[in-house]
Structure 1
Amino acid sequence: MHQHVTITTTTGDHSVAEQIAADLVDRRLVACAQIGGPIRSVYRWEGTVEFTEEIVLHLKTTAEQVDAVKQVIAKLHPYDVPEVIVTPIIDGSAEYLKWIDDQTRPA
């Protein structure tokens, strides 16, 4: 069994979130992309505190796919520095984790 992860990213545009999600699922790089929001993000950018409405994506995949997922996000994401946070899934239902494996292997 593979090591499973959730990758989180945010974007300011719902259509960009859907494009990233669809591309990653279509390429079998992630098994599932959950799109949520809007959320309110507060952060410092270029010396100014910013308040931004964003859309959040939670991407379920395997550790082996992380680098490829990061490349796709970098290519499709409009931000200069897109959020990409990888969190290990330490446990889950065996059936769901197997489903992630099945969905992220080449067709």
Structure 2
Amino acid sequence: MNSPCADASLLAFTTIDSEDAARHLARQLLQERLVACVNVVPGVRSLYWWQGQLQESAEWLLLLKTTGQRWPQLKARLPELHPYEVPELIATGIADGLEPYLRWMVRETEQE
């Protein structure tokens, strides 16, 4: 059985090229209440095509906990704050979760 708050909750992610940049981006998104929580995961190795060439980079993964209500603002704001020309930003719905945590996510992103 799905949690009532799960339908409103999203897990999004992005990558970035340094720990300092990751921490700065996370803090900015939190201060703007676009996310309730950010996990910064070091040691990600990304391989991808960019401008016709195969690239490999060390990156930091940011797991962003937000809501469907805040998603449009997050989607518009992240490219303004991110140093990449085309930053990765992908979101997926949360099917279920611990109800108090999901309520907390909603509550924290509603405040401004």
Which residue number corresponds to residue 34 of structure 2? 29
Deviations 1:53-78 (A, max 9, x none): 00010000101111111222111111
Please state how far the C-alpha of 1:102 moved relative to its aligned partner.
1.1
Q: What does residue 22 of structure 2 align with?
A: 17
Distance 1:78 1:35 in 2: 16
Q: TM-score, normalised on structure 1? A: 0.94
* Aligned counterpart in structure 1 of residue 56 of structure 2, from 51, 54, 60: 51
Aligned length: 107
Q: Secondary structure at the match of 2:88?
A: coil
SS in 2 for 1:35: strand
**Does the alignment pair 1:78 with 2:87?**
no
Match of 2:105 among 89, 100, 103: 100
**Unpaired segments ≥5 residues, structure 1:** none
With the length of structure 2 as denominator, give the TM-score of the two structures.
Answer: 0.90
SS at match of 1:79: coil
